[in-house]
Chain A
Amino acid sequence: MSYIEIEKLSFSYNEKTDVLRDVNIKIEKGEWIAVLGHNGSGKSTLAKTIVGLLEPKAGQITIDNIVLNEDSAYEVRKKVGIVFQNPDNQFVGVTVRDDIAFGMENLCIPREEMLERIKFYAKKVNMLDFLDKEPANLSGGQKQRVAIAGILAMRSDIIIFDEATSMLDPYAREDLIDYIRTLHKEGLTIIMITHDINEALMADKILVMNKGEVYAFEETQEIMKKQQVFIDSHLELPVSLTLANSLKDDEQYKEVRDQLWEYALTK
């Protein structure tokens, strides 16, 4: 069985329109999935159903062999953490230390253990010197890193990023993506919801949502070749790939195309 299995998932806020319709996804341990889609395609709703913040109308979510329901939500939340879009609206603690501790406090981790984990994970996200700082004195990028530390401290090994970079400036965005890359190397399973194709290119697989349904779910390289998928989803490929796809399929352009792909995937 896959690490995360979503079967026939449907969700709607009222009875009329389905925000998610018959979604079927399988995610393996350690995979980095980027979820793309236009505004209103259901990306955020998907994220919230996976951590049990929203109850589906139909279908089932299984994480590490635990079927998600009202009773098992607590257990599931130990394994899955979610970093939200607004860095300010998820920072609970009065200081960085307090915020990283929050999840552990909820799990009744003993104090000495908490202190150790805080030191360890704060160091990991480069916030060790900031433990006594208050959120008002932190940048958006710093707050997002604190959120990550808090989730790691709960020993979650699946992290969902729900448009976590969209409120950050370009530098902080790059930093965070680099950080996610490190997490991926260490074996964490990552579900990254974004509307930035350049970010999505870093992932192993790309899931394209369109009007509540799974429009495409394939290896990154495969999907990027399908220009139509992006046009239909109101998304725009990065310049390098638009050029790559526009070049005629002649032998003479092969090298150029390869270089354009290399640029897209490593930039």
Chain B
Amino acid sequence: MGIRFNEVSYDYSSFAEGLYTAIRDINLSITEKHEFIALVGHTGSGKSTLAKHMNALIFPTSGSLEIFGNIITSKRNKNIKYNSIRKKVGLVFQFPEYQLFEETVEKDIMFGPLNFKISVEEAKRLAKEALNLVGLDDSYLKRNPYNLSGGEKKRVSIAGILAMDPEILVLDEPTSGLDPAGKRVLMDLFKDINQKTGKTVVIITHDMDLVYQYFNRVLVMNDSRLIYDGNPDDLFKRDDLAEQHLDYPNTIKVLKHLNEKLNLNMNVYQKTNEDALKEIERAVSV
């Protein structure tokens, strides 16, 4: 079960670039429980395209994709209810402005559940729950989504998908535009959901610090290919990340700089500021 990509490629034609291959020969397996995966890559590497395949918003040009037992190929299959796949795999896009449209936050969060034929009372309950889950209290229910701040809009859009109770959650840059405290609140929330309910969570991000601190599996896209699928710790031990258009987490970069300039021999692989501080103190007192 879960999601399995089998030699999936996706081409599209754009006026600007002609025929363009967004993702190429992707082989990937995501189980439906317990996984906490980061999806990284430079702009244009194909991350978003990959994500849109996961809930059957777009179909592969070649290869096949299995989502909870449904086989998705380039041809539309009349026997598959593609819409129900979108309830199982919830995809949250990056910009809330493309999603929020109702008069109240409550109604907007209810939109998803109602589309999946959940009763109005149940949808209301799910909406309230999802709203609280993203850290907003009940006073937000009757407010107009467009009167909220950027960060609040972001959370409401995430609540809109959480309310659908998907089994796999895919989020495109959920923390971008938030201040550092806000980022941590959301990341802790996703980790919490993952650990308490066992749902698999896939997060697209540019923030290598978050990747290093929160994830145990990272997928790296580069120029339409999946070039790495493994542990972030091992990824960041490599020397060649710049060639893959990737950056290192800040703690590693800073400690590497100190090692080089001051001729120290610190273990640069520290995940938090506190650990890095301890390592510096240790190295200096020697």
Other A-B pairs, 12, CB within 8 Å; known A234-B181, A253-B280, A256-B262: A39-B149, A136-B15, A169-B42, A171-B42, A235-B179, A239-B273, A243-B254, A247-B280, A252-B285, A255-B262, A256-B284, A263-B254
A242 and B179 in contact (CB under 8 A), knowing A136-B15, A253-B284, A255-B262?
Answer: no
> Chain A binding site: helix, strand, loop or mixed by DSSP?
helix
B69 at the interface (CB under 8 A from A): no
Min Cβ gap A188→B in Å is 28
| Interface size classification for chain B | 20 to 34
Chain A neighbourhood of B150, CB < 8 A: 39
- Across the interface, A239 reaches (CB within 8 A) one of B151, B247, B250, namely B250
Question: Using Cβ atoms and an 8 Å threshold, which residues of chain B touch A243?
Answer: 254, 273, 276-277, 280
B285 touches A137 (CB 8 A): no
Cβ-defined contact, A242 with B273, below 8 A:
yes
- The CB with the most chain B CB atoms within 10 A, among A243, A247, A252, A260, is that of A243
Contact-residue size bin, chain A (C-beta under 8 Å from the other chain): 20 to 34
Could you show 21 A-B contacts with beta carbons less than 8 Å apart? A38-B179, A39-B149, A169-B42, A169-B43, A169-B206, A170-B247, A171-B43, A172-B43, A195-B179, A234-B179, A234-B180, A235-B179, A236-B180, A242-B273, A247-B280, A247-B281, A253-B280, A256-B262, A259-B257, A263-B254, A263-B257
**Can you list, as one digit per residue, whether each of A243-263 has a CB less than 8 Å from chain B (1) or not (0)?**
100110000110110011011
Quick check: is A240 within 8 A (CB to CB) of the other chain? yes
Cα–Cα, bound, A247→B283 (Å): 13
A247 touches B247 (CB 8 A): no
B251 interface hit (Cβ, 8 Å): yes
B118 adjacent to chain A (CB < 8 Å): no
Given contacts A239-B250, A246-B277, A247-B280, contact A137 B15 (CB under 8 A): yes
B258:A166 contact, CB within 8 angstroms: no
Kindly state whether residue B230 has any CB partner on chain A within 8 Å: no
Given contacts A234-B181, A246-B273, A247-B277, contact A252 B254 (CB under 8 A): no
How many angstroms between the C-alpha atoms of A236 and B258 in the bound complex? Answer: 21
Residues of B within 8 A of A240 (CB): 250, 254
Q: Does B19 contact A (CB under 8 A)?
A: no
Chain A interface residues toward B at CB < 8 A: 38-40, 136-137, 166, 169-172, 195, 234-236, 238-240, 242-243, 246-247, 252-253, 255-256, 259-260, 262-263
Closest chain B residue, CB of each to CB of A234: B179
Shortest CB-to-CB span from B273 to chain A, Å, is: 6
Q: Is B261 at the interface (CB under 8 A from chain A)?
A: yes
Contact check, B16 vs A238: say whether CB atoms are below 8 A apart: no
Q: Which residue of A lies closest to B14 (CB)?
A: A137
What chain A residues lie within 8 Å of B273 (beta carbons)? 239, 242-243, 246
The interface residues of chain B lying within 8 Å CB-to-CB of A170 are 206, 247
Chain B positions within 8 Å of A171 at CB level: 42-43, 245
List the B side residues contacting A253 at CB < 8 Å.
Answer: 280, 284
Chain A: minimal CB distance from B93 (Å): 15
B175 to nearest A CB, angstroms? 13
In the complex, A173→B178 CA distance in Å?
17
Q: Are B254 and A39 in contact (CB under 8 A)?
A: no
Residues of A within 8 A of B179 (CB): 38-39, 195, 234-236
Q: Output the least CB separation between B209 and chain A (Å).
A: 8
Q: How far is the CA of A149 from the CA of B281 in the complex (A)?
A: 48
Q: Which residues of chain B in 145-197 are interfacial with respect to chain A, using CB atoms and an 8 Å cutoff?
A: 149-151, 177, 179-181
Known: A166-B177, A171-B42, A239-B250. A259 touches B262 (CB 8 A): yes
